[in-house]
Amino acid sequence: PAKPIFSGQLPPGLQTISNIVAVSSCKGGVGKSTVAVNLAYTLADMGARVGIFDADVYGPSLPTMVSPENRLLEMNPEKRTIIPTEYLGVKLVSFGFAGQGRAIMRGPMVSGVINQLLTTTEWGELDYLVIDMPPGTGDIQLTLCQVVPLTAAVIVTTPQKLAFIDVAKGVRMFSKLKVPCVAVVENMCHFDADGKRYYPFGRGSGSQVVQQFGIPRLFDLPIRPTLSASGDSGMPEVVADPQGEVAKTFQELGVCV
Ligand code: ADP
């Protein structure tokens, strides 16, 4: 039986958003936040009005990956809403901008915090809200998918065999929720050295995913020191090097979402 994509009423703060895109992975450390942030800044560069919601409450990466002047979310005390901070025209909300230390929380509390941040934020008119999902396909992710009507999902993985199993889980979750998986990003798939290309994790699992699950697009991202350095420096690679190879890949991904 068809399950509703999301339950309940659309919160007012989300009613002015045209597309809500989830960037998801089953494991931590595969580059999900890197993809979410670079995708968001690419969409902004293409002329869209964009916001990023960092839903990774346990390890928020957004405060490291971007450098807004104002590093604290503001409250509108009358309306009891949250006003996003901003960096280079992209609106940002992260638990890491909430002015608290990293929290020790149980799952239901995490869901509560995420839902509150997401639904009480005054996003304003946006063409895209990119959600950096918490890693995994458990309760927290499911609840989030039920609070917001996602229009598309991008799954990030690395090329190992094991990662294939994880992607399958992610695809199944989104298909149950009737959210189209528009692309898989295979991150850290190769690196170039001494004029040669190396595939440290092997090859082929990405195309297997695409064939088996009928996902329209597969993108490869190489291991690049600049991707890691730009992540740490607070300026996304696509902003630092808008003509580069990585920026081109993200432009193609931007068209898919
Ligand atoms: P996740 O959100 O899945 O936990 P991150 O995006 O935070 O992963 O990436 C983990 C670390 O790996 C970060 O330090 C990031 O800069 C680095 N990283 C991600 N992708 C690449 C890449 N293709 N090349 C080099 N470093 C990368």
25-65 pLDDT tens trace: 988 889 999 999 999 999 999 999 999 999 988 788 999 99
d(CA 257, CA 252) in angstroms, rounded, equals 9
Task: Determine, yes or no, domain membership for 222.
Answer: yes
Per-residue pLDDT, 138: 85
d(CA 110, CA 203) in angstroms, rounded, equals 36
For ligand 1, the distance from its centroid to the CA atom of residue 178, given in whole angstroms, is 28
Per-residue pLDDT, 143: 83
CATH of the domain at 156: 3.40.50.300
Residue nearest to atom 14 of ligand 1 (CA): 228
| DSSP 8-state class, residue 148 | S
For ligand 1, the distance from its centroid to the CA atom of residue 30, given in whole angstroms, is 6
Q: Return the SS3 of 129.
A: strand
Inter-residue contact 239 to 42 (CB < 8 Å): no
Task: Determine, yes or no, domain membership for 199.
Answer: yes
Number of independent structural domains in the chain? 1
Task: Determine, yes or no, domain membership for 7.
Answer: no
Task: Determine, yes or no, domain membership for 5.
Answer: no
Structure tokens belonging to residue 117: 């941040």
For ligand 1, the distance from its centroid to the CA atom of residue 95, given in whole angstroms, is 19
Report the nearest atom of ligand 1 relative to the CA of 228: 16
Task: Determine, yes or no, domain membership for 4.
Answer: no
Task: Determine, yes or no, domain membership for 18.
Answer: yes
User: Mind listing the pLDDT tens digit for each residue in 222-256?
Assistant: 999 999 999 899 999 999 999 999 999 999 999 99
Task: Determine, yes or no, domain membership for 2.
Answer: no
Per-residue pLDDT, 110: 79
Indicate whether this model's pTM tops 0.90. Answer: yes
Name the residue among 117, 138, 100 with its Cα closest to residue 52: 117
Report the nearest atom of ligand 1 relative to the CA of 37: 6
| Full residue range of the structural domain in which residue 109 is found | 12-256
pLDDT band at 1 (very low <50, low <70, confident <90, very high): very low
ipTM of the prediction: 0.99
**Best residue among 191, 228, 235, 246 to mutate for probing ligand 1, ranked by most atoms within 8 Å of CB:** 228
User: Mind listing the pLDDT tens digit for each residue in 76-96?
Assistant: 889 889 999 999 999 999 989
Inter-residue contact 83 to 75 (CB < 8 Å): yes
User: Mind listing the pLDDT tens digit for each residue in 91-140?
Assistant: 999 989 987 655 566 777 778 888 888 889 999 999 999 999 998 888 88
Ligand 1, residues at Cβ distance < 6 Å: 25, 28-34, 61, 187-188, 221, 223-224, 227-228, 231
| DSSP 8-state class, residue 12 | G
For ligand 1, the distance from its centroid to the CA atom of residue 29, given in whole angstroms, is 6
Task: Determine, yes or no, domain membership for 210.
Answer: yes
Inter-residue contact 34 to 154 (CB < 8 Å): no
